[in-house]
Amino acid sequence: MTMDLWAITKRVAFYALVIFIVVVAVFPFYYAILTSFKSGTDLFRVTYLPTSFSLDNYSAVLNVGDFPRNVLNSVFVAAVTVLLALFLAITASFALSRVRFRGRGIILMTILAVSMFPQIAVLAGLFEVIRFLGIYNTPWALIFSYTIFTLPFTVWVLTTFMRDLPIEIEEAAIVDGATPWVIITKVFMPLMWPALVTTGLLAFIGAWNEFLFALTFTSSNATRTVPVAIALLSGGTQHEIPWGAIMAASVIVTVPLVILVLIFQRKIISGLTAGGVKG
């Protein structure tokens, strides 16, 4: 009998802990969604269950100012960053995993080292480079800087993944008359979908949520991306912070990510483990 009691207690304790963790993790998002549907003075009453429902905040965000434009900017910047990073990373990882040359190990270590610098450390230098290239206050400034920060991780993951692809398959393709480019596109890429989806999605999320570079390298409302736009949303007066609009905007920009992750989640899981274990 006492055994049963102990087992039940353990169970209850376990689920209590699970619920506690879930609540703590999810609450901020829940509260944001809840707040986004409130309007007027409701906003400042603390409630934990939906009390009123209004879409005023959403229409305000979408119809006033440059917010739709900012969303498009974000989509453009994130998408181009992903494509550019994947293209460079695939070709680089082919060289790093398959071509024997002097200094390969050093290059790999350097790539890893680059990713350890905090953003703020390179901000000033990067700003100079961007001014020099003449892409300040354009989406290309962001694409450029995000690609730099995404590439180390992407290259590293894809290199590990490509190293595990059997060398005989590549040799069979060479005998069949394939050039390196054909080997990459027709033989390796189809085998690397899980890794490409994983790294691509992480690059997308990184670019989508990035704030510091986006704030520094853009100056006009029309070129800003969503995170900066949300932070700079202003109300009717200087002293009014439009919480409702901010929450609505946050929900709007989170939804695409949630959808993307849900679509690709199975690939992500297989991708994250694929490089480590011989499969």
Partner 1 sequence: MARIELKNIRKSFGLVDVIKGVDLEIHSGEFMVFVGPSGCGKSTLLRLMAGLEDITSGEMYFDGQLVNALAPSRRGIAMVFQSYALYPHMTVYENMAFGMQLAKSDKDAIKERVEKAAEMLQIGQYLARLPKQLSGGQRQRVAIGRAIVRDPKVFLFDEPLSNLDAALRVATRLEIAKLHHQMNNTTMVYVTHDQVEAMTLADRICVLRDGMIEQVGTPLELYQNPQSLFVAGFIGSPKMNFLNGEIASKFGATTIGVRSEDIDITDREGAWKGKVIHSENLGSDSYTYVDIGTDEPVIVREDGTSKHAPDDAISIAPQPGRVYRFDQAGKPLKN
**Of residues 99 and 175, the one with the C-beta less far from partner 1:** 175
Instruction: Single out the residue of 171, 222, 231, 258 in contact with partner 1 (rule: CB under 8 A).
Output: 171
**Contact status: 169 vs partner 1 (CB under 8 A):** yes
Q: Which is nearer to partner 1, 45 or 278 (CB)?
A: 278
> CA angle, 106 as apex, 103 and 108 as ends, to 5°?
110
Residue 51 or 185 having the CB closest to partner 1: 185
| Angle in degrees, CA 171, 177, 179, rounded to 5 | 80
CB of 165 to partner 1, least distance (A): 10
Site string for partner 1, 185-224 (x = CB under 8 A): -xx--xx---------------------------------
Count the helices and strands in the chain (H runs, E runs): 13, 0
- Nearest distance, CB of residue 190 and partner 1, angstroms: 4
Residue 98 near partner 1 by CB under 8 A: no
Question: What is the rounded CA–CA span in Å between residue 268 and residue 154?
Answer: 14
Q: Would you call 50 helix, strand, or coil by DSSP?
A: coil
Kindly state the smallest distance separating residue 177's Cβ from partner 1, in Å: 3
| Tokens standing for residue 257 | 């990510």
Type of residue found at 229: A
Residue recorded with tokens 């800087």: 145
Q: Can you tell me the distance from the alpha carbon of 105 to that of 82, in angstroms, rounded to the nearest whole number? A: 25
- Which of 118, 134, 177, 236: binder of partner 1 (CB under 8 A)? 177
Pick the stretch among 80-88, 142-150, 152-160, 184-192 that binds partner 1 (CB under 8 A): 184-192
- Tokens 């595990």 correspond to what residue? 164
How far apart are alpha carbons 175 and 39 in whole angstroms? Answer: 68
Distance, CA of 45 to CA of 30 (rounded, Å): 16
Among 182, 205, 212, 272, binds partner 1 (CB under 8 A): 182
Q: How far is the CB of 279 from partner 1 (least distance, A)?
A: 11
CB of 150 to partner 1, least distance (A): 26
Residues lying near partner 1 in the complex (CB under 8 A): 166, 168-169, 171-178, 182, 186-187, 190-191
